[in-house]
Amino acid sequence: MENLISDLDERAQQVGEKIDGDVVFYTNSGGDPKATTMEKVTGLWKSLDSVKNEKLHEVADETWMVGIGILGANKILDDVEQILSK
């Protein structure tokens, strides 16, 4: 499992160099503050304007990572609309 995590971290760093978005969405697995991905996202992608400008939005892990089908997709779109309309 550690090898898998290390491999994913390495790939995220490589891909991160090619990413340029206006906002970043991150998850908090199971609602545990220690399990949030924010620190990893901001560490890997700290050069992005969206991270520098603090345009980071926590989203529900159970919806964004596990939500499947039309209902899950609609919930994700509702979240995006609500967040971006602020």
- pLDDT tens digits for range 35-61: 666 677 667 777 788 888 989 888 888
Per the structure, the count of domains in the chain is 1
Cα–Cα distance list, 55 to 1, 43, 50, 62, 76 (Å): 31, 14, 5, 21, 17
- Contact (Cβ atoms closer than 8 angstroms) between residue 40 and residue 5: no
Write down the pTM of the prediction. 0.67
- pLDDT tens digits for range 3-36: 544 555 666 666 656 677 888 888 877 666 666 6
Residue 70: domain span: 2-84
